[in-house]
Amino acid sequence: MTSRVLMVLVTLVGCIQAADKYWDYIVVGAGPGGLQMGHFLQKAGRNYVLLERNSVVASFFQKYPRHDKLISINKRHTGKKNTEFNLRHDWNSLLSDDKSLLFRHYSKLFFPQRVQLLDYMADYQKKLGINVQFHTEVSNIRKETNATTNKTVFLMDDQNGNTLKCKVLIVASGLSKPVKPTFEGREFTENYSNVSINPDDYEGKTVVILGRGNSAFELAESIYGSTNFIHMIGRSRVRLSWATHYVGDLR
Ligand SMILES: Cc1cc2nc3c(=O)[nH]c(=O)nc-3n(C[C@H](O)[C@H](O)[C@H](O)COP(=O)(O)OP(=O)(O)OC[C@H]3O[C@@H](n4cnc5c(N)ncnc54)[C@H](O)[C@@H]3O)c2cc1C
Ligand SMILES: *[C@@H]1O[C@H](CO)[C@@H](O)[C@H](O)[C@H]1NC(C)=O
Ligand SMILES: *[C@@H]1O[C@H](CO)[C@@H](O)[C@H](O)[C@H]1NC(C)=O
Ligand SMILES: *[C@@H]1O[C@H](CO)[C@@H](O)[C@H](O)[C@H]1NC(C)=O
Ligand SMILES: *[C@@H]1O[C@H](CO)[C@@H](O)[C@H](O)[C@H]1NC(C)=O
d(CA 214, CA 155): 39
Q: Measured over all CA atoms, what is the biggest interatomic distance in the chain, rounded to whole angstroms?
A: 81
Q: Is 138 near ligand 1, meaning CB less than 6 Å away?
A: yes
Q: How far apart are CA 151 and CA 123, in angstroms?
A: 37
In the structure, which protein residues have their CB atom closer than 6 angstroms to any atom of ligand 5?
63, 193-194
Q: Is 149 in the pocket of ligand 2 (CB under 6 A)?
A: yes
> Counting atoms of ligand 4 from 1, which one is nearest the CA of 179?
13
Considering the chain, tell me which residue range(s) the CATH 3.50.50.60 domain(s) occupy: 22-171
**Model pLDDT, residue 178:** 84
Q: What is the pTM of this model?
A: 0.89
Q: Taking a C-beta distance cutoff of 8 angstroms, is the pair 51, 193 a contact? A: no
CA of 150 to the centre of ligand 3 (A): 6
**What's the 167 CA to ligand 3 centre distance in angstroms?**
16
Ligand 5 atom nearest to CA at 63: 5
**pLDDT tens-place string over residues 20-66:** 799 999 999 999 999 999 999 999 999 999 999 999 999 999 999 99
- Nearest alpha carbon, ligand 2 atom 11: 146
Q: Kindly provide the b/e burial profile for residues 170-196, where b requires at least 16 CB atoms within 10 angstroms of the residue's own CB.
A: bebbeeeeeeeeeeeeeeeeeebeebe
Its CATH architecture, for the domain 22-171, is 3-Layer(bba) Sandwich (3.50)
- Nearest 5°: the CA angle 181, 184, 185 is 85
Q: Is the CB of 182 under 6 A from ligand 4?
A: no
What pLDDT, on a 0 to 100 scale, did the predictor assign at position 38? Answer: 98
Pairing of strands 163-171, 206-210: unpaired
What's residue 19's pLDDT?
52
Residue 224: per-residue pLDDT? 95
Per DSSP, the three-state class of 12 is helix
**pLDDT < 50 stretches in the chain:** 1-18
Q: CA 103 → CA 12, 61, 138, distances in Å?
A: 49, 15, 30
Cβ-based neighbours of 178, under 8 Å, separated by 6 or more: 191, 193
| CA 224 / ligand 1 centre spacing (Å) | 28
Q: Establish whether residue 196 lines the binding site of ligand 4, counting it when its CB lies within 6 angstroms of any ligand atom.
A: no
Report the nearest-CA residue for atom 5 of ligand 5.
Answer: 193
Amino acid at 132: V
Q: Give the distance (Å) from ligand 4 centre to CA of residue 52.
A: 24
Q: Which atom of ligand 2 is nearest to the CA of 146?
A: 1
